[in-house]
Amino acid sequence: MLEDLEARVAALEAAQADYRAVLAAVNALGANQREMVLAQAEHTDDLAELKNGQAGLQAGQRSLEEHLAEVKDLLVRALDR
């Protein structure tokens, strides 16, 4: 009878250890998911910043092209005189 109780206690302890292992794995997975979400948010912010910078560069390029066209027009007019 004592051996039967010891076997039952050992089985319960093994089941509890399995439960703890599963719980630890779930907690690790949750931590990993949080890190991935934070990294993705950071990358999203970086991408938005790059897109804004690109839009600014394109606007600056258009402005330079407009000024260059004005300078060319002035040079043509000056040479025609």
Residue 10's H or E segment, with its range, is helix 2-80
pLDDT of residue 81: 80
- AA letter at 5: L
Tell me, what's the pLDDT at 60?
Answer: 94
Per-residue pLDDT tens for 41-61? Answer: 999 999 999 999 999 999 999
d(CA 35, CA 41): 10
CA distance 37 to 58: 31
Q: Considering the chain, what is the average pLDDT of its residues? A: 95
Handedness of CA 51, 52, 57, 63 (dihedral sign): positive
Q: What are the mean pLDDT values of the chain's consecutive 10-residue runs (81 residues total)?
A: 92 94 97 98 98 96 96 93 80
